[in-house]
Amino acid sequence: MGTIKSDKMDLLRFATAGSVDDGKSTLIGRLLLDSKSIFEDQLEAVEATSASKGYDYTDLALLTDGLRSEREQGITIDVAYRYFATPNRKFIIADTPGHVQYTRNMVTGASTADLGLVLVDARQGLTEQSRRHAVILSLLRVPHLVLAVNKMDLVDFDQEVYNKIHAEFTQFATKLNIPDLEVIPISALQGDNVVNRSENMAWYSGPTLMHHLEHVHVASDRDLIDARFPVQYVVRPKSDEHHDYRGYGGMVAGGVLKPGDEVVVLPSGMTSKIAGIDLFDREITEAFPPMSVTIRLEDDVDVSRGDMIARVKNAPQPSQDIDAMICWMTTTPLKPRQKLAIKHTTRTARALVKDIQYRLDVNTLHRDQETKELGVNEIGRVQLRTTVPLLCDPYSKNRTTGSFILIDEATGITVGAGMINSAS
Amino acid sequence: MTETHADYRLSQLDQLEAESIHIFREVAAEFEKPVLMFSGGKDSIVMMRLAEKAFYPAKIPFPVLQVDTGYDFPEVLETRDNWVNRLGVRLIVASVEEAIANGVVVDDGKTSRNRMQIGTLLHAIEENGFTAAFGGGRRDEEKARAKERVYSHRDEFGQWDPKMQRPELWSLYNGRIHAGEHMRIFPISNWTELDIWDYIGREGIEIPSIYFSHQRRVFERDGMLLTESPFNPCRPGEVAEERTVRFRTVGDLTLTGCVESTASTIEEIIDEVAVARVTERGATRGDDRFSEAAMEDRKKEGYF
């Protein structure tokens, strides 16, 4: 392994999904091991534990199950984040458990992912769970999807098995919004087509999993057209040296902002021009997502946290009526008339559930309009009324200005994740 | 950061920086009384740098807290003071020695200073009424840390419950707490050891001299090279000798080992870290060796 310079690399975040026995932990262990991201002391600890438990082979899943209760039960109970790098790219894996709480955990992992990796067992073919994972990834607008057909060693590396799963999944995917799909036959246990090309599957001419992860193009997935800058923090030095400095700190959520741009501050509707964009002690000529910068305006307009800076002729519509898909994450069901706290970009308000229009069956995509509540791990379409206007875009257009979380005001717990369809 | 962005791509290090700054600003905007835990080690120095950037040209709008074990390396304390003075932030020192004297923690002669930091820290958080404490924990360090959220909820006893963590979605952090509770905040969760070194190199910022190769009188214990010191005398059979070493992590000097190395520049350290086959904690942190779940157990009690 040569020297890796991480200030030259780019970043790919991906979320893994799969049923309990699809070999997900083995695959992650294999990716880490073959990219030389596992250290000797970690591997030795796993080998020792495997031996003391009387296993015939080193259980790579022990590398990823980091908590006592997980090791006790041999299951993954929560999302964990793992890291590895190749010379050109760093990877952040959101390792989501394929266990009963799948939807909530998958939504969590997929919310920040550029790519979703769904595992299927070649012997089983597509299951209800694989379809569900694909549906969730498509709802969360994860732009790239990889279906890894695992355990090819157990079906004699048979091309027909792969072709059948490939055809079946491609057919299913036409009903979903999946802009980029790759289907790769692998054996995580033996390492076929994971990092190294498989000699057992000469019939397969596509990329190995690692090659695909390294080369999939993610920069184009961001919205560089519609300028969106949620104001996060007002920088006021109150020092002699910077007496008149007044800047607005935040992370660019969309578009490209430049000094001289005519902008509007929402919700007040006041207009001004960008006087300068600061990145720490330097002025820069443009800012784009996901940069954290400080923007100065030419006029002394009233701007505070929760406001949004956008282009005069291209601004989101402030709205108190939100139509959204909600993933409900707690055991007490969501019901109409319920009041919750809502956090959207840098703005926090309260929300009232006006109506639950339908519950989505993530297996069949059937819209159940009879049930008027959402249970834990269920997804549905909901109408909300908020106490203050939110400055939102459809989630399909912008994952930052189109998303929100719901918080139970009594317990303080995050109970829901929302994706905006439209605001009116 | 590069000046031209023809294709509007940020390097992963720039993305990590942007994400960390976002977290610092979010906490400063939403929490009543945050504090930055600052040991003077490399991770907390990167944190300090990120906080400096997040609020520039204003000063960092919260104090920093150091939990002094009494057994800290003098070079580290010197760096701590330089940073605090240059940035003009208020330093609060929570001393383990003092905590022992005041009966906040008990020194039974068997418990390590590292463990006694837990009670000392929790006492300082409670006494000062801090509602959020930034920590330099990274998820790549340890398998229990891989499970940690960026906003890590702590109850009135400062405890972490890994089974009751709040889901964390997009970059929407939930900072709600009840009276008496606090949040631990980990802005550099997604950084790896190598990222930290690349960033220190890129920013050209001051770190304690003991990270670089130097001569030191050390002795071997449990496979680690420990510093000869009155706090940590050689036991029978252990012999101290001069070696060329450097530290990969810094903590309490009775438990932090060094490695033999001639790396004397950031570039050389990066080359060394890039080919290291043992994790920094596995190699040189005695505190993680007590059991397979040493870190998890300490974190549940309130460790950072």
Question: How do residues A230-286 score in pLDDT, each as one tens digit?
Answer: 999 999 998 888 888 999 999 999 999 999 999 999 999 999 999 999 999 999 999
Q: Which residues of A touch B169 (CB under 8 A)?
A: 107-108, 111-112, 403, 405, 414, 417
Closest CA to A326 of A224, A233, A259, A407: A407
Higher pLDDT, A1 or B227: B227
Model confidence at B267, pLDDT cuts 50, 70, 90, reads very high
Question: What is the C-alpha separation between A312 and A265, in angstroms, rounded?
Answer: 9
Q: How far apart are CA A172 and CA B208, in angstroms?
A: 58
In three-state secondary structure terms, B237 is coil
Please give the helix or strand (H or E) that residue B80 lies within, else none.
helix B74-87
In angstroms, what CA-CA distances link A19 with A13, A104, B163, B294? Answer: 20, 15, 20, 30
Please compute the mean of the pLDDT values over residues A320-324 and round it to a whole number: 97
pLDDT at A30 over 80: yes
Q: Which of A33, A67, A71 to mutate to test the interface with B (most CBs of B within 10 A)?
A: A67
Distances in whole angstroms, Cα of residue B296 to Cα of each of A40, A260, B144: 21, 51, 5
pLDDT one-digit tens code per residue, B178-216 = 999 999 999 999 999 889 999 999 999 999 999 999 999
Helix (H, G, I), strand (E, B) or coil at B143: coil
ipTM of the complex model? 0.93
Compute φ and ψ for A315, nearest 5 degrees: -125, 150
| A237, HSE (Cβ side, Cα atoms, 13 Å) | 18
DSSP string covering A146-171, please?
Answer: EEEEE-GGGGTT-HHHHHHHHHHHHH
What count of other Cβ atoms lies within 10 Å of the Cβ of residue A276? Answer: 15
Q: Which helix (H) or strand (E) element contains residue B270?
A: helix B266-274
Answer whether A42's CB lies under 8 Å from A63's CB: yes
Supply A279's token pair: 């990145």
Task: Note whether A232 contacts B22, CB cutoff 8 Å.
Answer: yes
Distances (CA, A) of B93 to B31, B37, B69, B90, B236: 21, 10, 10, 10, 35
Q: What angle do CA A372, A373, A375 make, to 5 degrees?
A: 150
Please report which confidence band the pLDDT of residue B304 belongs to, taking 50, 70 and 90 as the band edges: low
**Rounded Cα distance, B185 and A47, in Å:** 33
A residues 167-226 lying closer than 8 A (beta carbon) to B: 219, 222, 224
Strands A115-121 and A144-150: parallel
Query: Phi, psi at residue A266, to the nearest 5°?
Result: -105, 145
Q: Could A67 and B140 be called an inter-chain contact, meaning their C-beta atoms sit closer than 8 Å?
A: no
CB contact, 8 Å: A280 with chain B?
Answer: yes
Closest to A81 (Cβ–Cβ): which among B5, B57, B139?
Answer: B139
Nearest residue on chain B to A80, alpha-carbon basis: B147
Phi, psi for residue A58 in degrees, rounded to 5: -70, 120
E strand or H helix that includes residue A61: helix A61-64
**pLDDT given at position B112:** 79
pTM listed for this prediction: 0.93
Phi, psi of A292 (to 5 degrees): -100, 115
**pLDDT at residue number A3:** 47
**How far is CA B234 from each of CA B109, B215, B224, B225, B286, rounded to the nearest angstrom?**
16, 18, 13, 12, 16
A3 interface with B at CB cutoff 8 Å: yes
Tokens 């990167």 correspond to what residue? B46
Q: Buried b / exposed e across A314-346, counting CB within 10 Å, b at 16+?
A: ebbebbbebbbbbbbbbeeebeeebebbbbbbb
CB pairs under 8 A between A and B: 218
Q: Do B29 and A235 touch (CB under 8 A)?
A: no
Q: How far apart are CA B229 and CA B224, in angstroms?
A: 15
- Taking only the tens place, the pLDDT of each residue in B143-158 is 778 888 999 999 888 8
